[in-house]
Amino acid sequence: MLGLATRLTTLMLFLFNIIEVVSYPILWEGGFYDHTFWGIMWLLTVVYGQGKVVIGSFNL
């Protein structure tokens, strides 16, 4: 992501991840831990932001 609406985009991916886990019960066997990992990474990005080295943070 380029830093443009990173938190909004990541929040959408986090919600989509929850929908996937709830909608597809076959994921509970092996994919639940993968979705938990991705969910934690996306939630951290929503909370802490994208970082300092992004296109959206340059002041011209």
Q: Where are the domains of the chain?
A: 6-50
- Please state, in angstroms and as integers, the Cα–Cα distance from residue 51 to each residue in 3, 19, 39, following that order: 8, 27, 18
Cα–Cα distance measured from residue 45 to residue 60, given in angstroms and rounded to the nearest whole number: 25
Per residue of the chain (60 residues), what is the pLDDT tens digit? 456 677 888 888 888 988 888 888 776 777 778 888 888 988 888 888 776 666 655 555
Angle between helices 32-48 and 6-23 (to 10 degrees): 160
CA triple 50-53-54, angle to 5 deg: 65
- In this prediction, residue 55 carries a pLDDT of 62
- In this prediction, residue 25 carries a pLDDT of 76
Cα–Cα distance measured from residue 45 to residue 32, given in angstroms and rounded to the nearest whole number: 20
- In this prediction, residue 1 carries a pLDDT of 45
